[in-house]
């Protein structure tokens, strides 16, 4: 089947379905995880024996996809009904560059042994016996985490006050300094090292679960707040509509405190914000037009 490659590489292994009884399953060497969606739960499911990941949904900019690329674990997304049509123990071949996934029922009965490539070795290299929050280091030099991502000045001004606070909010570390370079990309100094965040989460998955639940509650509260705001279509004050947008910005900044947990946090609220801001801006446009 054809899907979307988000982490390149070719690998062969045995499938394990990530479902409600996943915790009871044995993750043997050469395991390929089969998931509904590629999300923050991925790290809880990873182990040094995982050599590939297949999911029914997800996107290339997600935190999970970034982690898999860092660990050089091949991953193909958008394989329709993968959890339903693939069985535990089934031999799977991922051809990442082609975005293809192959399996053969006959190979299972023949008892072939799963093999895997060198992919996944970075996971082993960062795995430690113990890694606490006090072991997380910060970068001492300026660096640009996503040089290809240019932000409009307005959006940068909105997120900059809280972007550097994420490390303090999540780990109790000093706040980072955040600026914008001449190309519009974000440049940071004093932020937690990504590899150390990975080490910490891999050794403390319960922290990720707790923060994920906390973040999910915050997302739901923000959704509810945005959708509960009544925008008055006949207000004669443009300041009224600007105040409404300021509420949206304040809530958006709250979400960005979790920015180190995901590279695509805005996507999860995109539908709510588009609806909210569209209603606001339409009203503002009408006020300006009639004035």
DSSP sequence for 180-192: E-TTS-EEEESPB
pTM, two decimal places: 0.51
Closest listed residue to residue 18, CA positions, set 54, 51, 66: 54
Average pLDDT over residues 37-42: 69
The single residue listed with the structure tokens 């082609």 is 98
Rounded CA-CA distance 233/157 in Å is: 28
Residues 195/123, Cβ–Cβ less than 8 Å: no
Mind listing the pLDDT tens digit for each residue in 245-256?
888 888 888 888
The single residue listed with the structure tokens 């946090």 is 265
The pair of three-digit structure tokens given for residue 49, joined into one six-digit string: 């024996």
More confident call, 235 vs 258: 258
- Chain-centroid distance of CA 235 in Å reads 40
Rounded CA-CA distance 60/4 in Å is: 8
Measured in degrees and rounded to the nearest 5, phi and psi for residue 120 equal 100, -5
Average pLDDT over residues 186-206: 84
Rounded CA-CA distance 82/105 in Å is: 15
Burial class (CB in 10 A: 0-12, 13-18, 19+), 252: buried
Q: Tell me: pLDDT of 230 over 70.
A: no
Residues 65/59, Cβ–Cβ less than 8 Å: yes
**Predicted pLDDT of residue 269:** 40
Gyration radius from the chain CA atoms: 22
Question: CB-based contacts of 140: which residues, under 8 Å, 6+ apart?
Answer: 189, 190
Mind listing the pLDDT tens digit for each residue in 181-193?
888 888 999 999 8
Mind listing the pLDDT tens digit for each residue in 136-162?
999 999 988 777 677 788 888 888 888
| For the ranges 48-57, 226-235, 251-260, the one whose mean pLDDT is highest | 48-57
Count of beta carbons in the 10 Å neighbourhood of residue 11: 24
Q: Tell me: pLDDT of 170 over 60.
A: yes
**Predicted pLDDT of residue 284:** 40
């Amino acid at each position: 089947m054809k899907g979307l490659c988000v982490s390149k590489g070719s690998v062969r292994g045995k499938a394990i379905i990530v479902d409600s009884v996943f915790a009871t399953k044995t993750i043997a060497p050469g395991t390929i995880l089969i998931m509904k969606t590629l999300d923050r739960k991925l790290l809880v499911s990873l182990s040094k024996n995982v050599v590939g990941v297949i999911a029914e949904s997800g996107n290339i900019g997600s935190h999970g996809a970034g982690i898999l690329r860092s660990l050089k674990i091949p991953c193909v997304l958008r394989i329709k009904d993968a959890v339903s049509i693939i069985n535990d123990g089934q031999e799977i071949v991922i051809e990442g560059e082609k975005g293809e996934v192959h399996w053969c029922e006959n190979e299972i009965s023949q008892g072939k042994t799963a093999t895997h490539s060198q992919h996944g070795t970075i996971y082993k290299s960062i795995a430690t016996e113990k890694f606490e929050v006090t072991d997380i280091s910060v970068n001492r030099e300026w660096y640009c985490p996503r040089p290809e991502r240019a932000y409009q000045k307005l959006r940068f001004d909105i997120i900059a006050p809280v972007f550097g606070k994420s490390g303090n909010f999540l780990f109790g570390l000093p706040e980072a300094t955040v600026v914008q370079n001449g190309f519009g990309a974000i440049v940071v100094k004093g932020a937690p090292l990504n590899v150390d965040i990975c080490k910490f989460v891999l050794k403390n998955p319960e922290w990720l679960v707790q923060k994920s639940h906390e973040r999910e509650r915050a997302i739901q509260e923000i959704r509810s707040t945005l959708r509960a705001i009544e925008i008055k279509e006949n207000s004669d004050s443009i300041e009224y509509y600007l105040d409404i947008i300021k509420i949206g910005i304040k809530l958006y900044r709250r979400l960005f405190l979790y920015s180190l947990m995901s590279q695509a946090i805005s996507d999860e609220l995109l539908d709510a914000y588009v609806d909210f801001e569209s209603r606001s801006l339409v009203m503002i446009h009408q006020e300006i037009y009639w004035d």
